[in-house]
Each structure stands twice: as structure tokens, then as C-alpha cells.
């Protein structure tokens, strides 16, 4: 069994109030990069095996929610951690600015269709939480509207859990200095310049507002069944290690039961062996 160190270390206790300024984004847990990368690779392999068991069982599912401030590393986690999974049973849903059709419905309408089916894993790159984050920070809807959404989100996640979906929620916590450094790296790298825009820099003015909005999310929408984890994310290699361990540990605790085969294995082996023996005899050259 995988250790649960990071589950205990980074999980926010239900009912507690947190101050993100008390969390160290550069924390590395006593690891160096080489050791962390080696362990992460082992966890990726284990994650792939567990995904196969989940897919074979087809009774439960897993929803992974990734939230972060700009350049926090959501795409990096998807590529370096979750990328080890088989895409036949794992998919990513990206929640961008809502379309006019989506805005004409309840805020959870576009999310419902992206939840995982039994045997599947779904990753939300941003999520339904944007509707109590960006809409709050930028006053896109009245407080009387977004303040009611915490309970609606809790009801939504509770229903998923009652129907067999395990929910994991990660906040990838980077420092303001690290964010600026990543913006500069994007400007310097022609392959990454498409990721950067003036809006990214403008959003930095709302840094404290976003932190307060996240802190309210952790206070209002956190439970043992659908926990939030604050992941130190200034060091990408440690971020990937922590997320990998928490996912694998959670999947192991789900104790998947792979169903028995629906065919007679011994009979298939007997027929296959007989067919192979027959073909071998037909192909054997005759001797005088």
C-alpha cells in the first residue's frame, strides 16, 4: 500500500478555516528533485494499474478537480501525472468562459455532462468552483446569487458520492513571485507564448481577492468524502509527487474488485492448446 503522508499533510480538515498565507508554496517535504521524480514514476505506474481495475470493476468512478491561479500548474499535472492513464477510461474537461447557451442554464448544467461514468476517471481543468471564484472577484453576478452556490455545490458533490463517484479536489498553490517567473518564461519561450496575455498580468491585481475567495471555498465546500488538498506548487516536481501519491492512495483505499471472467478460462486454454497442437502437426515435414 502507498503511504498516506501527503493525504494527511495537505488535506484541509472539514469545518476548519485556513489562511493560504500560512502555507508555504515552496515546500518540498525533504525530497530532492531526483528522488521525487523516481518515486513519481513508480506512482504513475501504480496509478495506471489501478485505473485498469477501476475500469474492469465498472461500479464506481473518480472525479479529480484541479484549481489554481494562473500558471499554477494544472496542465502540468495533467501531462506529467494523469497522462500515465489510459485515455479509453480517462478524460479531461476544460471549463473556459461560459458560452451563451451555458449562461442560459443553471451554472452546474455544463458540469453535469462532464462527470465520469462508472469505470471512468474525469479530470476537471478548472471546474464548477469558478462560479464562486472569478464571478465573485469580478462581480459578474450579485453576492445574493453566488453566495447560494456553495450549498448547491455541496449538494451536487454529495449526489455524485452517493452514486459511487469518489471526489478529489486539488488547489495548486504557487507564490506570486513564482507566478511572475512563469509568465516571464512563457514570454521567452516561443512554444509557450500562446499561453500568455495581458489579462494574466492584470489578474495579478486581484491576487488577495482570489486568495480570500479560495479560503471561503475551503471553509464552505470541504468534507471527508470530497476533500480539498492544498498542494505546494512552486516546485513542479514536488507538486507532481504529492498529487500522484494522494491519487494512488485514494484509489488503493477504494479496494476495486475485478470481476471474475465471464467465460470458462480452462476450456479456452484447452481449445487453444488443441488448435496449436493440430497446426503444429500439419506443418511438420514428412520423413521417409
Tell me the average confidence (pLDDT) per consecutive run of 10 residues in the chain, 288 residues long.
91 95 97 98 97 97 98 97 94 95 97 97 98 97 97 98 98 98 93 88 96 98 97 98 98 93 73 67 56
For the entire predicted model, the pTM comes to 0.90
The alpha carbon of 140 is separated from its chain's Cα centroid by a whole number of angstroms, namely: 27
In the structure grid, which three cell numbers stand for residue 178, read together? Answer: 513564482
What residues form DSSP beta bridges with 91?
122
Contact criterion met (CB below 8 Å) for 84 and 48:
yes
The alpha carbon of 19 is separated from its chain's Cα centroid by a whole number of angstroms, namely: 23
Check residue 277 and give its pLDDT.
Answer: 65
In the structure grid, which three cell numbers stand for residue 91, read together? Answer: 478524460
Collapse the DSSP code of 139 into the 3-class scheme (helix H, G, I; strand E, B; otherwise coil) and give the result.
coil
Check residue 164 and give its pLDDT.
Answer: 98
In the structure grid, which three cell numbers stand for residue 78, read together? Answer: 495533467
Check residue 194 and give its pLDDT.
Answer: 87
Among 115, 123, 128, 135, CA closest to 154: 128
The DSSP output letter for 188 is H
Task: Select from 1.10.3210.10, 3.40.50.300, 3.40.50.1820, 3.40.50.2300 the CATH code of 5-282.
Answer: 3.40.50.300
Check residue 282 and give its pLDDT.
Answer: 61
> What's the rounded Cα separation, in Å, for the pair 62 and 65?
10
> What's the rounded Cα separation, in Å, for the pair 134 and 126?
11
Amino acid at each position: 500500500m502507498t503511504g498516506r503522508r501527503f493525504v494527511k499533510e495537505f488535506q484541509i480538515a472539514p469545518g476548519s478555516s485556513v489562511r493560504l498565507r500560512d502555507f508555504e508554496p515552496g515546500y518540498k517535504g525533504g525530497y530532492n528533485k531526483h528522488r521525487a521524480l523516481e518515486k513519481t514514476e513508480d506512482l504513475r505506474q501504480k496509478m495506471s494499474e489501478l485505473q485498469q481495475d477501476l475500469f474492469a470493476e465498472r461500479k464506481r468512478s473518480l472525479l479529480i478537480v484541479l484549481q489554481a491561479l494562473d500558471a499554477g500548474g494544472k496542465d502540468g499535472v495533467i501531462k506529467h501525472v494523469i497522462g500515465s492513464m489510459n485515455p479509453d477510461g480517462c478524460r479531461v474537461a476544460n471549463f473556459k468562459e461560459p458560452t451563451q447557451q451555458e449562461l442560459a442554464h443553471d451554472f452546474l448544467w455544463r458540469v453535469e455532462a462532464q462527470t465520469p461514468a462508472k469505470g471512468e476517471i474525469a479530470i476537471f481543468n478548472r471546474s464548477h468552483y469558478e462560479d464562486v471564484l472569478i464571478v465573485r472577484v469580478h462581480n459578474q453576478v450579485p453576492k445574493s446569487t453566488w453566495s447560494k452556490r456553495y450549498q448547491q455545490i455541496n449538494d451536487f458533490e454529495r449526489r455524485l458520492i452517493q452514486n459511487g463517484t469518489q471526489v478529489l479536489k486539488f488547489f495548486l498553490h504557487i507564490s506570486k513571485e513564482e507566478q511572475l517567473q512563469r509568465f516571464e518564461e512563457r514570454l521567452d519561450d516561443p512554444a509557450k507564448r500562446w499561453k500568455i496575455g495581458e489579462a494574466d498580468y492584470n489578474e495579478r491585481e486581484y491576487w488577495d481577492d482570489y486568495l480570500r475567495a479560495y479560503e471561503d471555498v475551503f471553509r464552505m465546500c470541504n468534507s471527508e468524502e470530497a476533500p480539498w488538498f492544498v498542494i505546494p506548487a512552486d516546485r513542479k516536481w514536488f507538486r507532481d509527487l504529492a498529487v500522484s501519491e494522494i491519487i494512488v492512495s485514494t484509489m488503493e483505499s477504494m479496494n476495486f474488485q475485478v470481476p471474475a471472467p465471464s467465460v470458462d478460462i480452462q476450456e479456452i486454454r484447452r481449445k487453444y492448446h488443441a488448435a496449436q497442437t493440430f497446426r503444429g502437426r500439419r506443418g511438420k515435414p514428412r520423413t521417409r
